[in-house]
Amino acid sequence: MNAVPLRNNKAAASAVRTITVLGATGSIGDSTMDLLRASPERYQVEALTANGNVEGLARLAKEFNARFVAVADASKLGELREALAGTNIAFGAGENAIIEAAERPADWVMAAVSGAAGLKPALAAADRGATIALANKECLVCAGDFFMDRAAKAGACILPADSEHNALFQALASGNREELVRVIITASGGPFRTWKAADIAQATLAQALKHPNWSMGQKITIDSASMMNKGLEVIEASYLFALSPDEIDVLVHPQSIVHGMVEFSDRSVMAQLGTPDMRTPIAHCLGWPDRITGRAAALDLAKIGSLTFEAPDYDRFPGLKLAYDALRTGNGATTVYNAANEVAVAAFVAQRIRFGGIAQLVEATLNNWVRAGNLAPLTSADDAISVDHDARNSAAALLPQIALKAS
């Protein structure tokens, strides 16, 4: 059973929609708040959360008259109390407070807490049947099977907020599941799209952070440079739309105008296009099942002039192939893929491994995990978190030999 509504049924929307934003001070949260700011008469903010940015969280809470705010860093409770002095805004700190924010009675929840820390809050929102705009990859990469199952059982509506998955969501409305041949996720190719493999392996942090089209956080920008982000998106698409790995293709599209395509049995290919701006997919989720006025720039195809496409190179970007391998292996392998990649990226940022060592560490961690016979299905958030923890420890233990190999 799938909690993603593949057909837009135009369910009646409330006149004023109550909103919770998990991760309100991050880049996705910032885009969401910008859209809410444009239509204050349509939305009431129920809860906002942040990891540790107390100043930014308090500022947003006052601006939007939030009813509850929470910061993940428990040590900042006093700082948050001081920042909200003189208001009637309820507040909390720590993991339980973030979960409480997700459990509060908002119609619509933006799940944009990054990392595995976003899993339990998103599940809390799903368990009460909320409409969830999902921007946290880890919910699906680490726990896709049971996350979608629980969401479906609770009657939750999962709306993809990533640009690529939102594009697929819109394009899928053009046909039925039995008519689908494949979905196509587009990739910019990142800053190393035309580089030779040897040069990519030795790329610096500054070079990896020069994304040609998107302005994103450090981690996702590095993932784009390695194309690990496309691997994560392939895994997400599989769980979101109940697709096999063979039904998901990746196509490099340097202009980042076509965000996703769906091919149907009659050979029609439906595509969603737009300027590279996260406010477009977020606006689609925020207004669904209707459409609202967006804040992104209008698409001018005549000015762009041409759109080009090319096949991905799995030899130069091995992280993408590893994602397909993990997805086919199943039983927690995608959780290991994600955890090892996070350890690898952190090591690269800390200059402990070369850029080429990122994929090498992920591959070595996956191989060790499979050889150890750890192929049990994940049935709970605790299962996923346990595998995530073990995979991080395994990746950390492998770091020294990968550092020597990639030097």
Q: Name the binding residues for Mn(2+).
A: 162, 164, 233
52: exposed, middle or buried (C-beta count within 10 Å: 0-12, 13-18, 19+)? middle
Annotated binding site for 1-deoxy-D-xylulose 5-phosphate: 137, 163-164, 188, 211, 224, 229-230, 233
Annotated binding site: 25-28, 53, 136-138, 162-164, 188, 211, 217, 224, 229-230, 233
| Angle subtended at Cα 43 by Cα 39 and Cα 46, rounded to the nearest 5 degrees | 140
Annotated binding site for NADPH: 25-28, 53, 136, 138, 217
289: exposed, middle or buried (C-beta count within 10 Å: 0-12, 13-18, 19+)? middle
Residue closest to 24 by CA, chosen among 111, 146, 143: 111
- Strands 68-71 vs 131-134: parallel, antiparallel or unpaired: unpaired
Query: For residue 21, what are the contacts with CB-CB under 8 A and spacing of at least 6?
Result: 29, 32, 33, 45, 47, 48, 49, 109, 110, 112
Residues in the chain: 407
In angstroms, rounded to a whole number, what is the distance separating the alpha carbons of residues 222 and 191?
10
Residue type at position 212: P
Could you say which DSSP state residue 300 is in? -
Between helix 228-241 and helix 163-172 the angle, nearest 10°, is: 30
Between helix 119-127 and helix 144-154 the angle, nearest 10°, is: 20
In angstroms, rounded to a whole number, what is the distance separating the alpha carbons of residues 235 and 242?
10
Residue closest to 110 by CA, chosen among 24, 182, 36: 24
